[in-house]
């Protein structure tokens, strides 16, 4: 009987260790327990969360310094979620690429055109 209880407890612990950590509800210690999240990042997350809950990954990435696509992918792989959702690989929509912001002037365009 003792072995069955011990086995059930071990399985429960194993399942709990793979459980997702939601960024809006996690404590600093829970955030620190994720691989890739250290004390500095967990403090930045907690500070940004004081402004309000994160709506989605784009909101999270725009408000927490140092979290970009690559790190969001890694953190999501380790079990971090935003409102229960893993990172889908989409960059924040409010960012504009530098090349997109530049406009070609008509004179510059004419200089490039060959007669």
pLDDT digits (tens, 9 = 90+) for 18-39: 569 999 999 999 999 999 999 9
φ/ψ of 56, rounded to 5, equals -160, -175
pLDDT digits (tens, 9 = 90+) for 39-85: 999 999 999 999 999 999 999 999 999 999 999 999 999 999 999 99
The answer on pLDDT for 103 being more than 80 is no
The answer on pLDDT for 90 being more than 80 is no
Q: Dump the DSSP string for the chain.
A: -HHHHHHHHHHHHHHHHTS-EETTT--HHHHHTSTT--HHHHHHHHHHHTT----SHHHHHHHSTT--HHHHHHHHHTTEEBTTB---SPPPTT---HHHH----HHHHHHHS--
């Amino acid at each position: 009987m003792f072995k069955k209880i011990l086995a059930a407890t071990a399985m429960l612990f194993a399942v709990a260790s793979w459980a997702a950590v939601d960024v809006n509800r996690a404590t600093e210690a829970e955030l620190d327990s994720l691989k890739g999240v250290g004390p500095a990042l967990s403090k930045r997350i907690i500070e940004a969360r004081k402004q309000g809950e994160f709506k989605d990954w784009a909101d999270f990435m725009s408000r927490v310094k140092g979290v970009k696509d690559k790190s969001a992918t890694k953190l999501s792989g380790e079990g971090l979620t935003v409102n229960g959702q893993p990172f889908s690989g989409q960059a924040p929509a409010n960012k504009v690429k530098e090349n997109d912001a530049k406009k070609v002037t008509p004179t510059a365009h004419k200089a490039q055109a060959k007669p």
